[in-house]
């Protein structure tokens, strides 16, 4: 993980020494013209007479226009679009967009309207998120962004705390960890490898890590994880990461789907659908990163992450359609589709988490293609207990991660009925409400009376188009900021 140096400065925009000085432009509304918004330490006189329209500047989100650094200490100027609203979300996105689009610039100064601690935090966080670059698989001689040598400053009011960069950097590191893991080729990252990363990341932090191998999974009754991982030469793992501050009054359990590669098993995916299936462990990466961030931030909330890791492959030892698995809570599942495997590993993890009677369980998974059909590539599907769903939605809205609550209709229970077991894992040939049916399945593995929320991130976990905000192509780290925010909120209750 390579991250630039983050800092704040109280200099006026004209006095900031940087390779590029970035200023924000608000888009015109109701027929008005776009305008450069003064920074927290003042306006830039050098741009006072500039006709923005004549050079094509509109203030639209993600627009970046570079100008010569006339009349300023900086070598050059860049104007980044804020859209029509100036708030924490637009500043986070604009800062991230500017940094993302200036990968080879050694020093960047963001002179945005950060006139409060909240807005400074947003700009710093966006800048740190936008600096992400994944270079692990680049070959010799490939030109890659020199992010490790980059210096990023945010112009901030004089009363900004000296440690204002700490939280944004930790949050960005958490997102970067998710993105690094998910972007890594599946051949280089099996279940045991993810477990090794968890152990390494916990070193030096107030965390304990327990790794259950295939023998221990068998002894302790984790039939779902074992059943999914049975077809692979790389055996499954369950990793439990615990952050337990002595004074914590609340316990948040996070359960993540960790399918390091999903071929579909014997219910084999078509070739095109198999591309990108290295991302099917995003849920596990997300709950790991959120828990590490909670420890680094010193939150007063107990957080336990359950990483349910397996590789879903076809072989002579693979689980067959029609086989019956017994999950951790003793319930049996007839496997009607081996490509509906995520809910099997999550069922084990949620049942195990329930035994500890946490105050809330949140599971995270790239679970269903139906989520993408219903909500698209950027909006996470949210289901579960009404009160917790409302709280998760509020936190996600506050950090500008698009999310939408979905129902869990009772009539779907009938579709989960099995002739030979307690339930089936899928209704082959009936795709209606697939995201909701998966939620109804998972609901059966939540302990009685425990608030629960389910996050289906199948679409938002990976960005496949052109860049926007702080995101380029590849893994997004979606929902890690929401989970950190939820843990922060719980410590005050």
> Could you tell me which residues are annotated as the binding site for Mn(2+)?
257, 262, 280, 339, 341
Pairing between β-strand 76-83 and β-strand 20-26 as defined by DSSP bridges: parallel
The per-residue DSSP string of 380-430 comes to EEEEE-HHHHHHHHHHHHHTT--EEE----GGGGGGG--SSSSEES--TT-
Pairing between β-strand 462-463 and β-strand 237-243 as defined by DSSP bridges: unpaired
Nearest one of 313, 335, 339, 337 to 323, comparing CA atoms: 335
Nearest one of 352, 350, 361, 351 to 385, comparing CA atoms: 361
The tokens 């990793």 sit on which residue?
239
Q: How far apart, in whole angstroms, are the C-alpha atoms of residue 117 and residue 164? A: 8
269 annotated active-site:
yes
Q: How far apart, in whole angstroms, are the C-alpha atoms of residue 237 and residue 175? A: 23
Q: Is 284 exposed, middle or buried (0-12, 13-18, 19+ CB in 10 A)?
A: buried
Point out the annotated binding site: 257, 262, 280, 339, 341
Angle at 430 between CA 424 and CA 432, to 5 degrees: 105
Q: Do 35 and 89 touch, CB atoms closer than 8 A? A: no
Q: How far apart, in whole angstroms, are the C-alpha atoms of residue 347 and residue 329? A: 8
The tokens 């013209």 sit on which residue?
33
473 annotated active-site:
no
Q: Which of 328, 343, 391, 440 is catalytic?
A: 343
Q: Which uninterrupted H or E stretch holds 256?
A: strand 251-262
CA of residue 377 relative to chain centroid, distance: 13
Q: Which of 61, 269, 331, 378 is catalytic?
A: 269
φ, ψ (nearest 5 deg) of residue 441: -65, -50
Angle at 483 between CA 205 and CA 287, to 5 degrees: 60
Q: Which residues of 186-205 are buried (b: 16+ CB within 10 A; e: fewer)?
A: beebbbbbbbebbeebbeee
Q: How far apart, in whole angstroms, are the C-alpha atoms of residue 250 and residue 491? A: 7
The per-residue DSSP string of 174-225 comes to HHHHHHHHHHS-GGG--HHHHHHHHHHHHTTSSEEEEEE-HHHHHHTT-HHH
Q: How far apart, in whole angstroms, are the C-alpha atoms of residue 94 and residue 441? A: 40
- At residue 120, the 3 state secondary structure works out as helix
The tokens 């400065």 sit on which residue?
9
Query: Which active-site residues does the annotation give?
Result: 269, 343
């Amino acid at each position: 993980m390579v991250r630039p140096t983050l800092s704040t400065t109280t200099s006026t925009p004209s006095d900031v020494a940087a390779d590029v000085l970035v200023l924000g432009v608000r888009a015109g509304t109701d027929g008005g013209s776009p305008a450069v918004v003064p920074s927290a330490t003042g306006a830039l006189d050098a741009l006072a007479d500039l006709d923005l329209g004549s050079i094509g500047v509109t203030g639209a989100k993600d627009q970046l226009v570079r100008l010569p650094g006339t009349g300023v200490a900086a070598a050059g100027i860049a104007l980044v679009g804020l859209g029509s609203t100036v708030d924490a979300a637009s500043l986070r996105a604009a800062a991230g967009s500017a940094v993302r689009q200036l990968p080879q610039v050694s020093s960047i100064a963001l002179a945005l309207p950060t006139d409060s601690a909240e807005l400074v935090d947003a700009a710093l966080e966006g800048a740190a998120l936008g600096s992400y670059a994944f270079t692990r698989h680049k070959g010799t001689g490939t030109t890659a962004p020199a992010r490790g040598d980059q210096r990023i400053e945010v112009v901030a009011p004089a009363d900004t705390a000296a440690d204002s960069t700490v939280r944004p950097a930790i949050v960005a590191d958490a997102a970067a960890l998710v993105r690094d893991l998910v972007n890594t080729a599946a051949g280089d990252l099996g279940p045991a490898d993810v477990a090794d990363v968890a152990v390494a990341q916990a070193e030096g932090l107030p965390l304990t890590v327990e790794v259950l191998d295939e023998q221990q999974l068998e002894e302790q009754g984790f039939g779902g994880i074992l059943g999914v991982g049975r077809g692979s030469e790389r055996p499954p793992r369950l990793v439990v990461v615990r952050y337990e501050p002595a004074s914590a009054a609340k316990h948040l359990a996070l359960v993540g789907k960790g399918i390091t590669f999903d071929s579909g098993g014997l219910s084999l995916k078509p070739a095109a659908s198999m591309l990108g299936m290295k991302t099917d462990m995003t849920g596990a990466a997300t709950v790991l990163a959120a828990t590490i961030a909670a420890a680094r931030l010193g939150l007063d909330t107990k957080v336990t992450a359950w990483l349910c890791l397996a590789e879903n492959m076809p072989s002579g030892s693979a689980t067959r359609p029609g086989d019956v698995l017994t999950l951790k809570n003793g319930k049996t599942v007839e496997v009607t589709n081996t490509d509906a495997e995520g809910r099997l590993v999550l069922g084990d993890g949620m049942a195990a988490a329930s035994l500890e009677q946490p105050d809330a369980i949140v599971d995270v998974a790239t679970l269903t293609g139906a989520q993408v059909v219903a909500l698209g590539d950027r909006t996470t599907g949210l289901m579960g207990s009404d009160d917790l769903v409302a709280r998760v939605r509020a936190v996600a809205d506050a950090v500008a991660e698009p999310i939408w609550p979905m129902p869990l209709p009772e009539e779907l229970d009938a579709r989960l009925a099995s002739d030979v077991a307690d339930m089936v894992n899928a209704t082959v040939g009936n795709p209606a409400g697939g995201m909701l049916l998966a939620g109804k399945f998972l609901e059966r593995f939540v302990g009685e009376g425990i608030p629960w929320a389910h996050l289906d991130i199948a679409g938002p976990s990976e960005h496949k188009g052109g860049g926007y905000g702080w995101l380029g192509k590849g893994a997004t780290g979606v929902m890690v900021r929401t989970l950190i925010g939820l843990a922060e909120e719980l410590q005050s209750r």
